[in-house]
Structure 1
Amino acid sequence: MRSKKLYKYYLKDLLTKIPWIIAGAFMAAISLEVILVPNGLIDGGITGISIMLSKGLGLSLSTLIFLLNIPFIYLGYKRLGKRFAFCTMLGIISLTVSTGLLDAFPPFLHGNSFLLIFIGAILLGLGIGIVLRNGGAIDGTDVLAILISRRTSYSVGESIFIINIFIFMVAFLLFGLMGAIVSIITYFIATIVVDVVRT
């Protein structure tokens, strides 16, 4: 009887988190497809790598996001458990579907104004933070950041930013110094929001 009650509680708790994970992934997708990517900025992590490959090879951004994140779903399953792996898979699929849907519409926000960058960074940080708070992730580097934060004194947001320094160095080669700097500033703001929302 006790185990049955615990299972019902577990299932109810999981079902309440699923809408939040989907909503968080959609918020991140809006930031990427509506604000960041159309204005020459990139995200960090696997999503950032997917953006660069999409621009360089002309492949679908949503498809790349899904395929490149598969190994990290498995890593999450092995190191953080079945529930985390399920929530992460849900988050990544939601991000993939959302970016695919939004990609069908022409971008309607243009110009690298600080206000636009700020809005994009906050929206991205909110999306990532909401998904993390509800037990999942929407990017492979989020999985690595959680593992790092458990073994070090760095927060998840700080770990995400450190991991992504390399990606922004590549961005410097592809998008120039200004594009890389603006992307770093954007992502730095986003990681602060991630830590605020997650805690």
Structure 2
Amino acid sequence: MKSTNSFKFYVLDLLFKIPWIIIGALMAAISLEVILIPNELIDGGITGISMMLSEMMGFSLSFLLFLLNIPFVLLGYNYLGKRFAFSTSLGIISLTVSTGLLEIFPPFLNGNPILLIFIGGILLGLGIGIVLRNGGALDGTDVLALLISSKTSYSVGESILIINFFIFLFALILFGWKGALISIITYFIATTIVDMVRT
């Protein structure tokens, strides 16, 4: 009886968290496709690498997001468990589908660029934080950050920022000082929000 009740609780808890993972992924996708990409800014992590490859080679962002995150889902499965791997797969698939749908539409949000970038950073941080809080991840570097955080004194947000230092260096070459610097500021806002939401 006890094991049956435990299983029911496990299933109900997972069912409660699934919609939040999808919502978080959608928020991140809106930040990427509606705010960051139209302003020639990049996200960090595998998402940022995907954005740069999409810019340089013309591949679909949604396709690259799915492809490049596969190894990290497997890493999460090996070190963080089946449930984490499932939740992360759901988050990445939701992000992939959402960005794929938003790619169809032209940029439709206009206004003060500084305000938009600030909103983009908050929205991205909220999306990532919600997914992490509900047991998944949206990006391969989130998986690495969780592993680093579990073994060191660094928070998940700090770990994400450290990992992405090298990605933003490459962004400096691709987008120049202005684009890279604003991307770093936006991502700093996002990682701050991640730690706030997750805790």
Q: Which TM-score bucket, shorter chain as reference?
A: over 0.9
Report the equivalent of 2:166.
166
Report the equivalent of 1:80.
80
- The one-letter code sitting in structure 2 at the alignment partner of 1:175 is F
**Offset of residue 110 of structure 1:** 4.3
CA displacement, residues 47-83 of structure 1 (integer Å, 9 cap, x when unaligned) = 0000000010000000000000000000000000000
Report the equivalent of 1:119.
119
Q: Distance in 2 between matches of 1:91 and 1:64?
A: 15
Report the equivalent of 2:52.
52
Q: Distance in 1 between matches of 2:24 and 2:131?
A: 5
Contact kept, 8 Å, 1:38 with 1:110, in 2: the verdict is: no
> Is 1:104–2:104 an aligned residue pair?
yes
SS in 2 for 1:194: helix
Report the equivalent of 2:34.
34
**Offset of residue 109 of structure 1:** 2.5
Q: Distance in 1 between matches of 2:141 and 2:173?
A: 21
- The one-letter code sitting in structure 1 at the alignment partner of 2:178 is M
Q: Distance in 1 between matches of 2:158 and 2:112?
A: 25
Q: Distance in 1 between matches of 2:55 and 2:124?
A: 20
- The one-letter code sitting in structure 1 at the alignment partner of 2:97 is V
Contact kept, 8 Å, 1:21 with 1:134, in 2: the verdict is: yes
CA displacement, residues 70-123 of structure 1 (integer Å, 9 cap, x when unaligned) = 000000000000000000000000000000000100001246721111000000
Q: How many residues align?
A: 199
Q: Distance in 2 between matches of 1:163 and 1:130?
A: 20
**Offset of residue 158 of structure 1:** 0.4
Q: Distance in 2 between matches of 1:111 and 1:17?
A: 34
SS in 2 for 1:135: coil
Structure 1 outlier segments of 4+, above 6 Å = none
Report the equivalent of 1:156.
156
Report the equivalent of 1:131.
131
Report the equivalent of 1:19.
19
Q: Report the identity percentage.
A: 75
Report the equivalent of 1:8.
8
Q: Distance in 1 between matches of 2:154 and 2:190?
A: 16
Report the equivalent of 1:181.
181
Scaled by the length of structure 1, the TM-score of the pair is: 0.99
Q: Distance in 2 between matches of 1:110 and 1:147?
A: 38
Q: What CA RMSD, in Å, does the superposition of the two structures yield over aligned residues?
A: 0.8
Scaled by the length of structure 2, the TM-score of the pair is: 0.99
Q: Distance in 2 between matches of 1:159 and 1:109?
A: 31
Contact kept, 8 Å, 1:39 with 1:110, in 2: the verdict is: no
Residue ranges of structure 2 left out of the alignment (5+ in a row):
none
Report the equivalent of 1:141.
141
SS in 2 for 1:39: coil
